[in-house]
Amino acid sequence: MEYKNLLIEIADSVATLTINRPQVLNALNSEVLTELECAIYALGNDTAVKVVVLTGAGEKAFVAGADIKEMVGLNSFQCHSHALKGQRAVMAMEKMSKPLIAAVNGYALGGGLELALGCDFIYASEKARLGFPEVTLGVIPGFGGTQNLARLIGPNRARELVITGKMITAQKACEWGIVNEVFPAEELMAKAKETAAAIAGAGTLGVAYAKDAIVNGLNMTKGDGFRYEASLLGVLFATEDQKEGMGAFVEKRKASFKGK
């Protein structure tokens, strides 16, 4: 598929997926959301890709939210279908077996922060500002943000961020556990790609099952989660990746994983 609003570069098993509407700070209109959902499925099925880095074009923004100019005239039914479209894109990211790293290079607001929260973890530039300004527009987050944020950092800080609509710095977001690490702006992409390369070199199935255990285990009781983890681990012992990974350690050589 040809994308009008996305750029995709694939090198050394790492795909860099860039939302490319810098003239409106990469705001998410309906076309971007459709393309994003397609791109996530396509990258999920592309054997040349093991990890995805998601970022925004330009110097100023990761994504400054849903496209307010498009949303302003929506009626209730259109709004509902718009919310479902955004939620499908975020859920596709969570369901993808390959990890996604959000490289937040500037504003990550509203729907933009929701996209970043759909990734497995977030690296941010010192210049980044994060927040949920929806209440200042008379609405609430609609792409899963209230749910994902509260699960990530607990209801107390989630309520503060969503109810005040304020923006916080990357550093504060890091202290709160939203962002994993903050880098100088010029180093952000290199650091994200360095981490992506390390993940790409690890056991493909182990990485996929690790994500699966955490994402799906969160919806289980602790006992069920433990059992689920043990089952996944058991399955991994039937794979070539496990034999290669442990064999390489014993033989003091670098492992070469095939994802089977």
Q: Which stretch binds ligand DAK (CB under 6 A): 30-38, 106-114, 185-193, 239-247?
A: 106-114
Q: Which residue in the list 35, 37, 114, 229 is annotated as catalytic?
A: 114
The answer to whether residue 153 forms part of the interface with ligand DAK (CB under 6 A) is no
Name the H helices within 96-221.
Answer: 111-118, 145-153, 155-164, 170-175, 188-201, 204-217
Span from 49-57, 138-146, 200-208, 210-218 in contact with ligand DAK (CB under 6 A) = 138-146
Instruction: Report the residue number, 66 or 93, with the smaller CB distance to ligand DAK.
Output: 66
Is position 114 annotated as part of the catalytic site?
yes
8 Å CB contact between 207 and 257: no
Q: Is 134 one of the annotated active-site residues of the chain? A: yes
Find the shortest distance in angstroms from Cβ 67 to ligand DAK: 4
Decide: 61 and 25 in contact? Cβ < 8 Å: yes
- The token pair at 52 is 């995805």
Q: Does 25 bind ligand DAK (CB under 6 A)?
A: yes
Give CA–CA dist 6/13, Å, rounded.
18
> Could you say which of 35, 134, 187, 251 is catalytic?
134
What type of residue is 221?
Answer: T
Q: Which residue is nearest to ligand DAK (CB)?
A: 110
Q: Is the CB of residue 14 less than 8 Å from the CB of residue 96?
A: no
Q: Which one of 2-10, 32-40, 97-105, 134-142 is the stretch in contact with ligand DAK (CB under 6 A)?
A: 134-142
User: How far apart (Å, rounded) are the C-alpha atoms in residues 228 and 242?
Assistant: 18
d(CA 78, CA 90): 19
Q: Is residue 133 close enough to count as binding ligand DAK by CB under 6 A?
A: yes
Per-residue contact track with ligand DAK, 43 to 82, x per CB under 6 A? ---------------------xxxxxx---------x--x
| Residue 218 DSSP class | T
x/- map, 221-240, ligand DAK, by CB under 6 A? --------------------
Residue 142 as a binder of ligand DAK (CB under 6 A): the answer is: yes
Nearest one of 173, 154, 56, 159 to 112, comparing CA atoms: 56
Give me 12's structure tokens: 């050394």
Task: List residues binding ligand DAK (CB under 6 A).
Answer: 24-25, 27, 64-69, 79, 82-83, 86, 107, 109-111, 133-134, 137, 139, 141-143
